[in-house]
A and B are shown apart, each in its own frame.
Chain A
Amino acid sequence: MFSKTKKKRDFHHLSPGWNFIFHAVALFFAVLCVFPFLFVVIISFTDEKTLATNGYRIFPAKWSLEAYRYVFQTGDMLLKSYGVTILVTVAGTLLSLVMISLYAYAVSRKSFAYRRFFSLFAIFTMLFNGGMIPTYIIVTQVLGLKDSLWALIWPLAMNAFYVMILRTFYMTSVPDAIIESGKIDGAGEFKIFYRLVLPLSLPGLATIGLFSTLGYWNDWFNALLYIDDPDKVPLQSMLMRIESSMAFIQQNLANSSISLEVLQNMPQDTARMAMVVLATVPIIFAYPFFQRYFVQGLTVGSVKE
């Protein structure tokens, strides 16, 4: 028994003192990261009138569901924005995956005569970019996408960085033998890609897909630049517009026969926070799922090609 404990001495053993300190620091930072969201949730469940007297409190004087009741009653705006965001995210991610995976695959194949050219074509865009204003000019004047949902989808569809990541993935995880066997069986390039390569590359696609989804879901910048039509405003952009005033919401109330009294008693601040919470909830739910793939993706990337 003695020799067993002696031999299995964990070389990673940290003295209890330091272990405690490390736990404390890690716990503190983890809580710090999560706390602001919890705080906003608490504010959304606070009674609006106590905000004027007490401000935002971690322990509100009075709790209330009024904010959520209000949001669900006049839920038009939130629902519309949800719709826009979901549509843009799904369409965008799919489009993005198709475009990126095809490009990356072609560029990963040694038999592609123009492989080098198209690799550089993509890489150069990571180095030098024309800037916000020229891009704005192209999107609005050449492509005519002002106030179109496509202005939310197209700008994020391609990403040279993801192309390179997928290219590396194809080169390392898809054996030439598979492609050769497909060729021997007489399959065309697209068929080989679709039937043989795609199933093998699901992990890589999943990672890129998740990054892409997150990018679309959280995007507010493209809406800021290109969208004025209130019917086409995605979630994050809507949250930006209601920041200073609920006027945006009031202007868009479906039921405009609401009395003045009701308008005056509208739970402004708490309703805003309720919207923030409702817009963030999907991310929170999808979070554990995202986290696993992101960590995988990051670690694969950093252990390097």
Chain B
Amino acid sequence: MAGSFFRNLIRNRAMLLMVLPGAVWFLFFSYMPLIGTIAAFKEYRFSRQGFWYSLTHSKNVGWDNFKYLFNTDAAYTITRNTLLYNIAFIFLGLVFSVALAIILSEIVNKRMAKLYQTGMFLPYFLSWVIVGYFAFSFLSMDRGLLNHTLESFGIDSIQWYNEPKYWPFILIFVSLWKSAGYNSVVYLASIMGIDKSLYEAAMIDGANKWQQIRNITLPLLKPIIIIMTLLAVGRIFYADFGLFYNVPRDSGTLYSVTNVIDTYVYRGLKTTGEIGMSTAAGLYQSVVGFVLVLVSNFIVRKIDKDSALF
């Protein structure tokens, strides 16, 4: 039996060699960290003697880190923020992306449509650091364009980076701004794939543009919409770190509305040094996220097997 195993290895040696680099990478960057999640159940101390030593010699505290974590207000806040923002992003993102796709597909002058698309696509290519600077040029207290405009209408300047209440709107706006153009491409491709004769037939039957959109375009987009949405829902426990870290410029006063699970974990590592609780938060996120991805993928499979992740 062992003989045939080795025979198989040798027969497949070329292919095995090909997957070797990638597999080793996965081992170090994806699978070993899984072992590291045990740190969530320990009082982890960075020891100079390296990873294994630190892991095995840190005190075992069982579920304590999780208990501390869920006893804080933070656990509720970051979960709420992550979920609510993602729900808003998914829903509004969908509406805007589909709307843009339909608009672009209906514009008669195709060259102009291509031009608009070029413009809309740009934000996706810029990093969140750059976008953070953009936001600053508008929101800066003494020099920003927004306050300047307010002043010219006789309204007092607002300390944008200190007032939590505006930030849900700001963050949702910025997120849509960055991704709507990019996401619309997927829907646009689907629309382009719709059989033109359907529209012809509808027109012969006297349907106007809106009826055509409502009865042909949208229903035919439904499958891809459902799939994109489900895949997004599968990731609903993960936030875009770049958005929530760079755009609010790490302003502490805004944490109640800008801290999401990802930023909380990061701050635990780099700033507050609460490794235990933060790793617990990270594990909490990974487990819930995992379940959600499995469930959503399962549902997507039921709808359209080819579109599922696996």
Contact = CB atoms under 8 A, between A and B. Distances in A.
A240 B129 contact: yes
Contacts of B163: none
A297 to B, nearest CB: 10
B209 A129 contact: no
Contacts of A43: 137
B127 interface: yes
Nearest to B157: A55
A218 to B, nearest CB: 4
B306 A305 contact: yes
Contact of B266 (A114, A132, A139): A132
A204 to B, nearest CB: 16
Interface in A104-145: 105-107, 109, 111-115, 118, 120-139, 141-143
A98 B19 CA distance: 11
A113 B36 contact: no
Interface stretch (A62-70, A72-80, A249-257, A288-296): A288-296
A134 B28 CA distance: 11
B302 interface: no
A155 B143 contact: no
B303 interface: no
Nearest to B275: A133
Contact of A279 (B21, B130, B283): B130
A276 interface: yes
A208 interface: no
A226 to B, nearest CB: 11
A2 interface: no
B216 to A, nearest CB: 11
A92 B307 CA distance: 30
Contacts of B282: 130-134
A133 B265 contact: yes
Interface residues of A, number: 109
B125 A99 contact: no
Contacts of B130: 236, 239, 276, 279-280
Interface residues of B, number: 107
Contact of A103 (B23, B121, B180): B23
B125 A239 contact: no
Given A114-B15, A131-B33, A134-B37, A18 B209 contact: yes
Nearest to B53: A141
Contact of A29 (B22, B120, B131): B120
B103 A130 contact: no
A114 B12 contact: yes
B164 to A, nearest CB: 20
Contacts of B113: 26
A189 interface: yes
A288 B140 contact: no
B80 interface: no
Nearest to B50: A141
A130 B129 contact: no
Interface string A37-56: 10110010000000100111
A221 to B, nearest CB: 7
Interface string A230-268: 000000110110011000000000000000000000000
Interface string A8-46: 000111110011001101110111111011011001000
11 contacts: A26-B103, A43-B137, A56-B144, A99-B25, A100-B22, A121-B26, A133-B279, A134-B33, A155-B29, A189-B14, A283-B126
Given A239-B130, A272-B133, 13 more contacts: A23-B109, A30-B118, A40-B137, A55-B140, A55-B144, A56-B145, A102-B19, A130-B34, A131-B265, A132-B282, A133-B268, A134-B35, A225-B270
